[in-house]
């Protein structure tokens, strides 16, 4: 017999909640109360934005608008929680169906790269005499607001001191222009740029952010992105055509429909390129990661930024590859301590991956093999990364 209460509730669902329920009904994801709450909050925000747009068009007297035609503020949304909880999935549902015409969905680090380029371009114009404002922040904020009144940021995190120092003034100007922010993050606003260099100068941004957005914690639960990945696909061997297709399958599952992109890490003033990234995961070829002069701090930066690292094409290592073996040891140790996931495709099984008659790495690699095995277990996969520290030093 139909449940009239359930039918009434369904009629009140907005587009995000409706889409979420369809995925549940099709068995693509498991029901999650926290996700339903977030979906409802995103639908409410969409309604607020739609009402603001209608009021702007219909109000001849501009009663909802202040000076200079700025729209009445609408509070955005900052969602944080452990990896794989569906934050990005739900934000993307919201973004795709939002009626806001001027909108932008972008990874936070890509956005900040664009901001730095705009600041540089404005300073060039000032030097050329084609722009009059010495302070680049107001004109840059106006440019962004003219293009996008809704900004959706994936993986909001701050590790770069240059970003930290400009965020407060930039977003104060953006919010003044009526820009609404929706962001996902692994950390609460108060933990952004934690232990970072000159963090005191960053704290005004944190307070401004909390005043302009509703902060919503998505409680711990199953990592849905990795549910489709079998533990046998976390260490793939040998390196044949089947291995390549298995890595691609894992990568597609990690992306969850998101388009991959290039990225970079800034660690203690150095830039580390990430050839392939998306949805909180990074993908490297053997030569891009283990044959570069990278150390523990670089891998800590990697662990801070990404929940999963995919490393493909690792050959059998011997005495001639001692440096590569040492980097692999450091990489595994760092990801293990941080509770991050590692997917490897290799020429040989883990126990045979490094062979040498003597040396420190020979003995250290025994621990690496043990950890690679443990990282494939259900207990490790289901543990929250919040239970493990990501190194003892801040990455700057």
The conformational region for residue 391 under phi > 0 = left, psi -120 to 50 = alpha, else beta, is: left
What pLDDT was estimated at residue 65?
A: 47
Rounded CA gap, 55 and 62, in Å?
A: 8
Q: Which residue has the tokens 């005004």?
A: 204
What is the rounded radius of gyration, in angstroms, for the C-alpha atoms of the chain?
Answer: 23
- Give which of 152, 154, 161, 168 is closest to 193, Cα–Cα: 161
Structural domains in the chain, sorted by start = 4-218 (3.40.50.300), 226-387 (3.40.50)
Q: Please state whether the predicted TM-score (pTM) of the whole model is above 0.85.
A: no
Rounded CA gap, 82 and 84, in Å?
A: 7
What pLDDT was estimated at residue 18?
A: 93
Q: Is the peptide bond before 146 cis (omega within 30 degrees of 0)?
A: no
Low-confidence spans in the chain with pLDDT less than 50: 4-6, 8, 59-67, 384-396
pLDDT digits (tens, 9 = 90+) for 303-323: 888 989 999 999 999 999 999
What pLDDT was estimated at residue 385?
A: 40
Question: Hey, what are 292's tokens?
Answer: 């570069």
pLDDT digits (tens, 9 = 90+) for 63-92: 444 445 555 679 999 999 876 678 888 999
What pLDDT was estimated at residue 102?
A: 93
Whether residue 258 contacts residue 357, with contact meaning beta carbons closer than 8 Å, is answered with no
Find the distance separating the first CA and the last CA of the chain, reported in whole Å. 61
What pLDDT was estimated at residue 396?
A: 30
């Amino acid at each position: 017999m139909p449940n009239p209460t359930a039918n009434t509730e369904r009629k009140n669902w907005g587009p995000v909640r409706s889409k979420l329920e369809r995925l549940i009904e099709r068995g693509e994801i498991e029901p999650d109360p926290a996700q339903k709450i977030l979906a409802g909050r995103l639908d409410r925000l969409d309604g607020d934005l739609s009402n603001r747009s209608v009021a702007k068009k219909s109000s001849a007297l501009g009663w909802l608008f202040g000076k200079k035609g700025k729209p009445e503020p609408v509070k955005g949304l900052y969602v944080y929680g452990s990896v794989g909880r569906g934050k990005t999935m739900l934000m993307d549902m919201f973004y795709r169906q939002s009626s806001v015409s001027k909108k932008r969905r972008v990874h936070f680090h890509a956005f900040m790269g664009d901001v730095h380029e705009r600041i540089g371009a404005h300073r060039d114009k000032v030097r050329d005499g084609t722009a009059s404002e010495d302070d680049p922040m107001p004109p840059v904020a106006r440019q962004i607001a003219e293009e996008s009144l809704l900004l959706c940021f994936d993986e909001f995190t701050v590790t770069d001191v240059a970003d930290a120092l400009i965020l407060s003034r930039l977003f104060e100007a953006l919010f003044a222009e009526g820009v609404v922010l929706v962001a996902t993050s692994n950390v609460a606003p108060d933990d952004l740029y934690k232990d970072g260099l000159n963090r005191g100068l960053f704290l005004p941004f944190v307070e401004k952010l909390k005043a302009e957005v509703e902060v919503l914690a998505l409680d711990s639960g199953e990592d849905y992105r990795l549910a489709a990945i079998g533990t046998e696909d976390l260490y793939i061997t040998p390196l044949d055509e089947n291995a390549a297709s298995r890595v691609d399958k894992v990568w597609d599952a990690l992306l969850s429909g998101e388009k991959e992109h290039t990225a970079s890490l800034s660690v203690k003033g150095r830039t580390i390129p990430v050839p392939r990234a998306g949805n909180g995961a990074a993908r490297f070829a053997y030569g891009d990661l283990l044959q570069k002069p990278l150390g523990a701090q670089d891998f800590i930066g990697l662990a801070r930024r990404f929940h999963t690292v995919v490393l493909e094409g690792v050959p059998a290592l011997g005495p001639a590859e001692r440096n590569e073996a040492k980097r692999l040891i450091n990489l595994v140790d760092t990801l293990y301590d941080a509770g991050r996931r590692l997917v490897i495709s290799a020429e040989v099984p883990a126990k045979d991956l490094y062979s040498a008659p003597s040396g420190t790495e020979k003995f250290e690699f025994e621990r690496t093999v043990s950890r690679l095995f443990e990282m494939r277990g259900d207990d490790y996969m289901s543990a929250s990364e919040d239970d493990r520290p990501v190194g003892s030093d801040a990455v700057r």
